[in-house]
Chain A
Amino acid sequence: MAKVQFIKSADVKPWLAELAKEHRVFAPSYDGEALLFRPFDPEQEIVLDRAATMPPKKTIFPQSEKLVDFTYSKDPENLSRIKIDAKANLPEGSTVVFGSRPCDARGFTMFDRVYLSDKNPDIYYQARRKNTLFITLACRTIENTCFCNWVDSDPCDPTGSDVLAIPVNDGYLLESVSEQGEKLLNSKLLADGSSRRAEAEKICQEIAGSINNTKDLTLAPEKLLAVFDNMEFWEEVSAKCLSCGACTYLCPSCYCFNITDETTGMKGKRLRSWDNCMSAQFTMEASGHNPRPTKAHRLKNRVGHKFSYYPTIHGGVISCCGCGRCIKSCPAGIDIREIVLKAIDFVPAAVEE
């Protein structure tokens, strides 16, 4: 049985201050014009009335992280020889993310299927994932770029979260989703919220009703494959693309990375950094050959991966959480929803006899 607590709006900051004694706490606050998940600072205003510009992706998957430390040293037995020691350090400590949206938290479930496979678990991701808790804020306002309802989610979806916070009139109803989340709800600042449950449920229903009509994407996997060789289709939908990669960096479910080495003197590190499949370098081979030579090929792979390949591999789950950041932040105004719908509706020209 989930634990249900209530917190007054004014007590949110003191509660986060309490949590910050034990965990690294991230909450959305403005950095210039960008609303970002930043380390909790009591002096900063926490902004909860809109979705953050960037999802809290880096709390579990840092923009750049060290995989291996290596050091060179002279071999004392043979001075012309360089010895190399390579070590890995796993991330430690626990993190609480406050104010993530259902789409943000659900994005990590797309990562989980790939990063936490039985065969090859990624232990850096694993270490952060199990020690990062999400207090997710249900959405009270829906933007015209939102489409979580198209991808089997809704504005009160607790999937991937540890606590779901539903904004009610004078505060938030806090429902534990996981056992770890339940432990976060023991503060004296919280009161039993059972009596407010009906109110919260009504709010969730109202919001779900206000989101734009859902679309059936069941056919997306096969329809996207059907237009794979139709480069005219892909050239048209990618014509405006600048290959800037904003869509990938802002996406809660984009998980591709690069691995690079850096050295200074006798020390070095191997880094894993976010990569961008919209860049020509992404698949460029040393020979000069590129299997995805144009932006049309690259956009095809990005849309194809999310709405066709990933669902085919992972039991039908679309690797998109419907947050709409790629639409909102695309400098050229490309709308991934339109591309998917266009592929679903595409009818090949009749072959003339």
Chain B
Amino acid sequence: MTKNIYLPEMATIQEVIRETHNIMTFRVTLNNPEAMKNFSFKPGQVGQVSSFGTGEATFVINSPPTRMDYLQFSVMRTGEVTSKLHSLKAGDQIGVRAPLGNSFPYEDMKGKDIVFVGGGIGMAPLRTLLLYMLDNRGDYGKITLLYGARSPVDMAYSYELQDWLGRDDLDTHLTIDAPYEGWEHKVGLIPNVLLDIAPSSENSVAITCGPPIMIKFTLQALEKLGFKDEQIVTTLEKRMKCGVGICGRCNIGTSYVCMDGPVFTRAQLRQLPNEL
């Protein structure tokens, strides 16, 4: 029997974590133990998460494939589906169609220094790859993380940041846009802080995700630091319905973000028509 690409796997929310005023994280397991056991994916792949009766929306699986106790999705409340998801609690049922899309080229990154630059909810896809690399630490060179948000209360994954800051195999920098009482880390916009940290571009790959305006200036900063287009990786978002290249709304020219993406190098993006 051919797989029905539109029929979600039923899943149970095991835990809900309130990250910020508008971001919640859901840890879910597939109800079918066989499906959960056989579930495999690569860092950067996404899933369509359903609240039956409201609809589906696309989220990156932000737990790494090296930690398969649950699949984690972080959801920023923006529209109808995300508002409904925010009303759910542990034990509630959702649907999951995953994995979809391509993944970060993590095999090609082996032996290289890695620079993560995440802004706001854009930290979610980076988290998957970061944890995957930490779980395979020997395969990668120096890992630098720059994670920024508007303010400390807008920073997701706050509960694991202390661990990341304390690790000697990870160079973590946190920044917020404006001074905030009690904040002990950097203050300043991500691109400026990136230029201050000035990670070397030699034998390095930069992976960045965040709001469009942040991406725009981060790309300029990376360029100043000597990062070539092939050394910069990002992950895109588009409105998606089917997730498998049929329904026809996420294409940029001949490329379908749901199938050929969401992960693109800057060099690949330059080949696409200008329609982000």
Question: What residues of chain A have their CB less than 8 Å away from a CB belonging to chain B?
Answer: 67-68, 70, 72, 78, 81-86, 88, 114-115, 117, 119-124, 126, 225, 228-229, 255-261, 263, 268, 270, 272, 275, 277, 282-287, 289, 291-292, 297, 301, 304-305, 308-309, 312-313
Cross-chain contact of B247 among A78, A88, A259 (Cβ < 8 A): A259
Residues of A near B252 (CB, < 8 A) are 291
Is B78 a contact partner of A286 (Cβ separation < 8 A)?
yes
B188 interface residue per 8 A CB criterion: no
Residues of A near B91 (CB, < 8 A) are 78, 81
> 15 A-B Cβ contacts within 8 A?
A68-B6, A68-B8, A81-B92, A85-B10, A120-B5, A123-B5, A255-B248, A256-B247, A257-B248, A272-B6, A275-B248, A277-B249, A285-B237, A286-B82, A301-B275
Closest to B241 in A: A259
A289-B239 Cα distance, complex, nearest whole Å? 10
Residues of A near B251 (CB, < 8 A) are 301, 305, 309
Cross-chain contact of A88 among B6, B52, B92 (Cβ < 8 A): B6
Cross-chain contact of B275 among A122, A124, A259, A297 (Cβ < 8 A): A297
A67-B3 Cα distance, complex, nearest whole Å? 13
Is B6 a contact partner of A260 (Cβ separation < 8 A)?
no
How many residues of B are counted as interface, with CB atoms below 8 angstroms from the partner's CB atoms? Answer: 43
Residues of A near B249 (CB, < 8 A) are 256, 275, 277, 282-283
Residues of A near B56 (CB, < 8 A) are 259
Q: Mark B42-54, 1 if CB is under 8 A from A, else 0.
A: 0000000000111
Is A88 a contact partner of B253 (Cβ separation < 8 A)?
no
Residues of B near A289 (CB, < 8 A) are 212
Is A255 a contact partner of B53 (Cβ separation < 8 A)?
no
Is B92 a contact partner of A82 (Cβ separation < 8 A)?
yes
Closest to B276 in A: A291
B2 interface residue per 8 A CB criterion: yes
CB distance from B186 to the nearest CB of A (A): 26
CB distance from A15 to the nearest CB of B (A): 35
Knowing A82-B92, A83-B93, A309-B254, the reply to whether A261 touches B246 (Cβ < 8 A) is: no
Is B247 a contact partner of A258 (Cβ separation < 8 A)?
yes
The B12-65 residues at the A interface (CB cut-off 8 A) are 52-57
Is B253 a contact partner of A68 (Cβ separation < 8 A)?
no
Cross-chain contact of B7 among A86, A126, A272, A285 (Cβ < 8 A): A86
Residues of A near B78 (CB, < 8 A) are 286-287
Is A228 a contact partner of B53 (Cβ separation < 8 A)?
no
Is B239 a contact partner of A283 (Cβ separation < 8 A)?
yes
Q: Mark B221-239, 1 if CB is under 8 A from A, else 0.
A: 0000000000000000111
CB distance from B30 to the nearest CB of A (A): 13
Is A305 a contact partner of B248 (Cβ separation < 8 A)?
yes
B95 interface residue per 8 A CB criterion: yes
